[in-house]
Each structure stands twice: as C-alpha cells, then as structure tokens.
C-alpha cells in the first residue's frame, strides 16, 4: 500500500481531532504529503472506524491515485496550501489540518484578526487573520484562505473553522490547537471586561524567538 505511514497518520490525527473536541462527527479534515502525493481524509466517513486503506491518495492536481473512497470536499484548500513554495521560514509544507473548533469558529464571526491576547498567536505568524467567508469545498474558499495565509502558517475561516499547516503533522496539529486555545482565552476575557492585548511589536519579537525554540 502506497503512503502507508502517511495514511496511518491521517487516521491517528483524525481520531485525535474528535477526542480533543476540535471537530464534531465527520467535519474537519487532515492531509499528509509525501513528494507529489497526498494522503487525505475521505468525505463523510466516521473517523472512529477509519482505516489506513480507507484514506485516499491523490496527486497534487487532485487526481485520485489510490483508494476506493472520495477525498474530502475541502480538497481544494489542502492542495492550495501545498501549492505554496514553503512556509515563512523556508520549511517544506508536509501536512494540513482543518478543524471546526468551537471557540475559533465563534471568534471568526467577530473579528478580522485573532486579537493578540497571548503571545502564542505568534505560532501562526505576526497575526492570525480571518479568511473571508465562502461556501465550503469551493475554489472561492481556497482563494480566500490563501490570501489570509500570506506570511502566516494558519488562519481562521469566517463562520467556518481553522486551518494550519506544518512541515509535519505534529506541527500542523499543534497550530490548530494553539489557535483554538488563544481564541478561547480571548472570548473568556472579553466576557469579563476589556482584555489587555499585546502590541504588534511584541508578537513580532516572539515570532523571532519561536524560530529557535525547543530542542534542536
């Protein structure tokens, strides 16, 4: 079976999305790239029963290479992300995670950028934008997402959810988790009063610090 490791990772993280409350039912989707091929969640399949062999493999033009099931309706978004040359640091783009997480979706209806309530918004970039609304599964949504991702590693999708990418599935998943957490913090603080926000210069400073963060 081609891309066996990548297909298994798609299954693992699809189930994790459900466990972590980032999606409900069969919403949201995940893809992992290897070379010119992409393993991606199928449309309308319960993630609890998803097996590696159920995960379709497509080429970068969207043609199905292997698998019996249809890929997610959001395939245009995934392929548009892979169409980018690299992330802002020049790292390859090898995974994409799209969620329907509650707090981030709520925030996407209120603002045009995620308010810098916490420095971890810098895991996305200088800010986390909200892509303009378009119907799911359309090229219009993919185009709006691409605009919001300029110099960013993730964004919110207006009235829809989040999307983030990384050089591996762990990095992409971590970013959608951080987006959801930052949105939750802001909404909680906002209900209690007028939260103090970090200035753009501090977020830019943290973006630089994160480039050398962790074990290397």
Instruction: Give the C-alpha separation, 77 to 25, whole Å.
Output: 20
What digits encode the pLDDT tens for the residues 71-97?
A: 999 999 999 999 987 899 899 999 999
Tell me the whole-structure pTM to 2 decimals: 0.95
Active site residue 12: no
Alpha-carbon gap, residue 213 to 56, rounded angstroms: 35
Catalytic-role residue among 4, 12, 68, 74 = 74
Cβ neighbours of 198 (radius 10 Å): 16
Return the number of other C-beta atoms located less than 10 Å from residue 193's C-beta: 7
For 25-63, how does the pLDDT look when each residue is reduced to its tens digit (9 = 90+)?
889 999 999 999 999 999 999 999 999 999 999 999 999
pLDDT at 215: 43
Other Cβ atoms less than 10 A from the Cβ of 91: the count is 14
- Can you tell me the distance from the alpha carbon of 64 to that of 75, in angstroms, rounded to the nearest whole number? 11
C-alpha distances (whole Å) from 212 to each of 97, 133, 208 are 23, 35, 8
């Amino acid at each position: 079976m081609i891309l066996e490791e990548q297909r298994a990772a798609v299954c693992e993280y699809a189930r994790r999305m459900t466990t972590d409350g980032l999606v409900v039912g069969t919403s949201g989707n995940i893809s992992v790239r290897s070379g010119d091929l992409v393993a991606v969640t199928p449309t309308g399949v319960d993630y609890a029963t998803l097996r590696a062999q159920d995960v379709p493999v497509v080429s970068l033009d969207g043609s199905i290479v292997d698998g019996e099931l249809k890929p997610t309706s959001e395939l245009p978004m995934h392929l548009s992300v892979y169409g980018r040359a690299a992330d802002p640091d020049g790292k390859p783009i090898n995974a994409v995670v799209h969620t329907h997480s509650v707090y981030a979706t709520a925030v996407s209806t209120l603002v045009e950028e995620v308010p810098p309530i916490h420095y971890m918004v810098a895991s996305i970039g200088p800010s986390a934008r909200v892509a303009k609304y378009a119907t799911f599964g359309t090229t219009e949504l993919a185009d709006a997402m691409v605009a919001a991702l300029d110099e960013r590693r993730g964004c919110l999708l207006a009235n829809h959810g989040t999307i983030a990418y990384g050089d591996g599935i762990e990095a992409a998943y971590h970013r959608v988790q951080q987006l959801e957490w930052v949105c939750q913090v802001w909404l909680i603080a906002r209900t209690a009063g007028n939260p103090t926000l970090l200035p753009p210069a501090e977020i830019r400073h943290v973006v630089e610090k994160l480039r050398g963060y962790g074990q290397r």
